[in-house]
């Protein structure tokens, strides 16, 4: 039969106080060690599971942040590519302007004797007879047909439509025909039509072709090639928006209709797509008209590039804004979870110190109670 040892009331109270103090002290030490006041659902089920949900969502946004960061870099790479291509197009513009500037010194021309004494009278004068004026510049030939009722103004206008020569009447009534390029210029049949002498004279030209213009062909084509090569190199992490690739940046953790994402459709950038022809093949650098057309094409290309840059800049602004928002939201979710489960170390430290003092007092009380019981034994 098991024996039961009876404790005095004083000893029992001292032991109970010491036991509860020790348990509270151990709990305080555990909280200080983990830094949390809620370490499991046993401590506080509501706070524990709420904090777990907040931390889980913060983790999902953290994973999305990597994709958002890649999106920022992809758009930035394309944007910088557009900036660089813009500089190449501007360099090509300079090349065209250099070729056009050289034309003034190498453009062939022919000047007639005076049709009349003044410009106004000459332009209003009717042609001497119906006939053809044949203009030849290099291998290109253009024929102007004049009727008996045409005026010199009509002849000038028709010559200006040729694309290989321009005509004008000077203030002293002389008809001047100039080539639009550097090819040698010859005029046939003008005497009979205009009724003046001198229109069939040999063209005056510095060279058959402008050496300066010829040297600029390779320079222009090199710039054109680099536009294509630069566009190919403007990708990031396998996505190149300048090659027509599409980019999708996901902003939230939801799926289906609640999913929030930004889709950026790239555009295939190339010299051909920008309307920039190849010198020597598409553009005759010896022809002023074609140079002017090329200059217009480059201006249009710059307009297109600016539009693309604006679109990329808008998309980049959206993604960067969402990136900053996501970072702030992660901090908010994490802080909210911490507020529910983290312990106040200062408070827990103070409690532990108080518990240690109480523990010492409880041990002293237990000792005194034991001594009181032992005093009874001395009576026997």
Same domain, 232 and 97: yes
If asked whether residues 233 and 252 sit together in one domain, one would say yes
Q: Does 127 share its domain with 68?
A: no
Tell me: the pLDDT tens digits for 187-215? 776 655 565 544 444 444 434 567 788 88
pLDDT digits (tens, 9 = 90+) for 37-95: 788 888 889 988 999 999 999 999 999 999 999 999 999 999 999 999 999 999 999 99
What is the average pLDDT value for the chain, to the nearest integer? 80
The answer to whether residue 379 is domain-embedded is: no
> Does one domain contain both 252 and 315?
yes
Among 194, 226, 247, give the residue marking a domain's end.
Answer: 194
pLDDT the model gives residue 201: 42
Tell me what pLDDT residue 34 has: 73
Tell me, what's the pLDDT at 237?
92
At residue 146, the 3 state secondary structure works out as strand
Whole-angstrom Cα distance, residue 334 to residue 39? 16
Which CATH number covers residue 280? 1.20.1330.10
Cα 203 from Cα 108, distance rounded (Å)? 6
Q: Burial of 88 by CB count in 10 Å (0-12 exposed, 13-18 middle, 19+ buried)?
A: buried
Q: Is the pLDDT of residue 340 over 50?
A: yes
Domain boundary among 194, 227, 247: 194
Angle between helices 288-341 and 45-106 (to 10 degrees): 170
What phi and psi, each to the nearest 5 degrees, are found at residue 107? -75, 125
Answer yes or no: do 231 and 331 share one domain.
yes
Q: Is this structure's pTM higher than 0.85?
A: no
- My answer on whether 328 and 226 are in the same domain is yes
HSE-CB at 9 with a 13 A cutoff on CA atoms is: 0
> Do 85 and 157 belong together in one domain?
no
197: CB partners within 8 A, 6+ apart: 112, 113, 191
- Please, which pLDDT band fits residue 294 given cuts at 50, 70 and 90? very high
Mean per-residue pLDDT, 149-154: 85
Given a contact cutoff of 8 angstroms between Cβ atoms, the answer to whether 159 and 165 are in contact is yes
Q: Does residue 242 lie within any of the structural domains?
A: yes
pLDDT value for 198: 43
> Is residue 88 domain-shared with residue 227, that is, in the same domain?
yes
Which residue range(s) make up the domain with 144?
Answer: 108-194
Helix ranges, 107-141 (H): 119-124
pLDDT band per the 50, 70, 90 thresholds, residue 287 = confident
Do residues 139 and 219 both lie within one domain?
no
Residues 372, 10 contacting (CB under 8 angstroms):
yes
Domain count, the chain: 2
**Whether 153 and 244 share a structural domain:** no
142 located within any domain = yes
Q: How far apart are the first and last CA of the chain?
A: 28
Summarize pLDDT for 128-137 with one digit per residue, the tens.
777 788 888 7
- Contact criterion met (CB below 8 Å) for 102 and 264: no
Q: Same structural domain for residues 228 and 327?
A: yes
Contact 271, 227 (CB under 8 A): yes
Do 124 and 150 belong together in one domain? yes
């Amino acid at each position: 039969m098991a024996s039961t040892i009876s404790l005095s009331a004083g000893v029992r109270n001292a032991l109970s106080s010491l036991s509860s103090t020790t348990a509270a002290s151990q709990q305080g030490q555990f909280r200080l060690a983990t830094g949390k006041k809620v370490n499991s659902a046993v401590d506080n089920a509501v706070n524990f599971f709420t904090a777990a949900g907040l931390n889980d969502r913060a983790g999902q946004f953290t994973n999305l942040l990597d994709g958002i960061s890649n999106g920022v870099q992809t758009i930035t790479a394309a944007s910088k590519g557009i900036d660089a291509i813009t500089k190449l197009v501007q360099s090509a513009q300079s090349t065209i302007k250099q070729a056009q500037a050289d034309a003034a010194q190498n453009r062939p021309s022919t000047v007639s004797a005076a049709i009349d004494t003044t410009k106004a009278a000459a332009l209003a004068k009717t042609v001497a007879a119906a006939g053809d004026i044949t203009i030849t510049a290099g291998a290109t030939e253009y024929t102007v047909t004049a009727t008996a009722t045409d005026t010199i103004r009509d002849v000038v206008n028709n010559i200006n439509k040729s694309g290989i020569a321009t005509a004008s009447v000077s203030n002293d009534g002389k008809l001047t025909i100039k080539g639009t390029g550097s090819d040698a210029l010859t005029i046939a049949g003008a005497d009979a039509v205009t009724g003046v002498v001198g229109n069939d004279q040999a063209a005056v030209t510095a060279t058959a072709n402008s050496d300066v213009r010829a040297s600029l062909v390779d320079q222009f084509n090199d710039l054109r090639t680099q536009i294509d090569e630069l566009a190919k190199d403007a990708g990031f992490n396998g996505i190149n928006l300048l090659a027509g690739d599409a980019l999708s940046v996901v902003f939230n953790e939801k799926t289906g209709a609640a999913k929030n994402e930004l889709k950026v459709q790239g555009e295939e950038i190339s010299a051909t797509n920008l309307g920039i022809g190849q010198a020597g093949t598409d553009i005759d650098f010896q022809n002023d008209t074609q140079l002017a057309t090329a200059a217009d094409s480059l201006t249009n290309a710059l307009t297109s590039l600016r539009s693309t840059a604006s679109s990329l800049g808008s998309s980049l602004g959206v993604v960067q804004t969402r990136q900053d928002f996501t970072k702030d939201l992660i901090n908010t979710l994490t802080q909210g979870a911490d507020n529910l489960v983290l312990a106040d170390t200062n408070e827990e430290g103070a409690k532990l110190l108080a518990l240690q003092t109480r523990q010492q007092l409880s041990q002293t009380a237990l000792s005194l109670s034991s001594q009181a019981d032992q005093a009874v034994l001395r009576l026997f």
